Amino acid sequence: MAKIKQPNTKRTPATRGGAPSQFSHSRIVVHRKVASESLRQLLRAPGTSGLVVVVIAVAMMLPALLLLLTSNLQANMGSVEKAAQITAYFYLAVPDDKALEVSERLQSMAEVADVDYVSASDALTEFSQASGLGATLQSLAQNPLPSALIITPARSSPDTANTIEQSLATFEEVEFVQLDYLWLQRLEALLSLVNQLGGLLLVLVAIGLIVIIGNAIRVGVESKREEIRIIKQFGGADSFIARPFLYTGLYLGAAGGLLACILLLLVLSSLGPAVAEVASLYDSDFQLIGLSVLENLLLITAAAGLGWVSAFTSVLRKIATISA
Amino acid sequence: MIKFDNVSMRYPQGLDALTNVSFEINKGEMVFLTGHSGAGKSTLLRLILALEQCSGGEVIVNGANLGRLPRSRIPFHRRQIGAVFQDHQLLFDRSVGANVALPLEIAEFPPTEVQRRVRAALDKVGLLNKERMLPARLSGGEQQRVGIARAVVNRPRIILADEPTGNLDPELSAEVMSVFEQFSHVGVSLLIASHDKSLLENFQHRTLALDHGRLISDG
pTM score of the predicted model: 0.73
Q: Which residues of B touch A35 (CB under 8 A)?
A: none
pLDDT in the model for residue A324: 76
DSSP B48-94: HTTSS--SEEEEEETTEEGGG--GGGHHHHHTTEEEE-TT----TTS
pLDDT in tens, A155-169: 767 788 888 988 999
- Whether B110 and B211 map to the same domain: the answer is no
* CATH number for position B173: 3.40.50.300
Name the average pLDDT for chain A: 84
Q: Residue A112's domain spans which residues?
A: 85-178
Last residue of a domain, one of A178, A194, A227: A178
Residue A219 neighbours by CB distance under 10 Å: 11
pLDDT tens digit sequence for A28-48: 877 888 899 899 988 888 888
Query: Which residues of B are less than 8 Å from A240 in CB distance?
Result: 75, 106
Is a pLDDT exceeding 60 seen at residue A10?
no
Number of domains in chain B: 2
For B38-76, how does the pLDDT look when each residue is reduced to its tens digit (9 = 90+)? 899 999 999 999 999 999 999 999 999 999 999 899 999
Instruction: Out of A162, A178, A194, pick the residue that ends a domain.
Output: A178
Question: What is the DSSP secondary structure assignment for residue A146, as one 8-state letter?
Answer: P
Which residues sit opposite A113 in a β-bridge?
none
A115 located within any domain: yes
Do both A221 and A244 map to the same domain?
A: yes
CB atoms B179 and A4 under 8 Å:
yes
Q: Identify whether residues B5 and B63 lie together within a single domain.
A: yes
pLDDT of residue A17: 41
- Residue A19 scores a pLDDT above 50: no
Q: Structurally, how many domains does chain A consist of?
A: 2
A316 in B contact zone (CB under 8 Å):
no
Q: pLDDT tier at B203 (50, 70, 90 boundaries)?
A: confident
Contact residues, A window 33-52, toward B, CB-based 8 Å cutoff? 33
Indicate if A169 and A193 belong to the same structural domain.
no
Residues B112, B211 within the same domain: no
A250 plus A267 within the same structural domain: yes
Confidence tier at A16 by pLDDT (50, 70, 90): very low
- The string of pLDDT tens digits covering residues B103-120 is 999 998 888 899 999 999
Q: What is the mean pLDDT of residues A104-127?
A: 89
Residues A147 and A272 in one domain: no
Domain annotation covers residue B85: no
Same domain, B145 and B50: no
Bigger pLDDT: A240 vs A130: A240
Residues A133 and A240 in one domain: no
Same domain, B64 and B103: no
CA atoms of B149 and B96, how far apart (whole Å): 10
Q: Cα separation of A123 and A102, whole Å?
A: 18
Could you give the residue ranges of the DSSP H alpha helices within A108-133? 120-131
Contacts by B200-205 with C-beta closer than 8 Å and gap 24+?
B200/B32, B200/B34, B202/B174, B202/B177, B203/B32, B203/B177, B205/B30, B205/B31, B205/B32
- B105, B122, B154 — which closes off a domain? B154
B8 pLDDT above the threshold of 80? yes
The domain boundary residue, chosen from B119, B139, B154: B154
Residue A28 region, left (φ>0) first, then alpha (ψ -120 to 50), else beta?
alpha
Domain carrying residue B165: 1-80+156-219
pLDDT of res. A133: 76
Which of A6, A12, A33 minimises the CB distance to B187? A6
- In the listed set A143, A178, A213, which residue is the last one of a domain according to the structure? A178
ipTM of the complex: 0.90
Q: Strand order in B189-193's β-sheet? A: B81-84, B158-162, B189-193, B30-34, B206-211, B214-218
- Residue A215's CB is within 10 A of a number of other CB atoms, namely 13
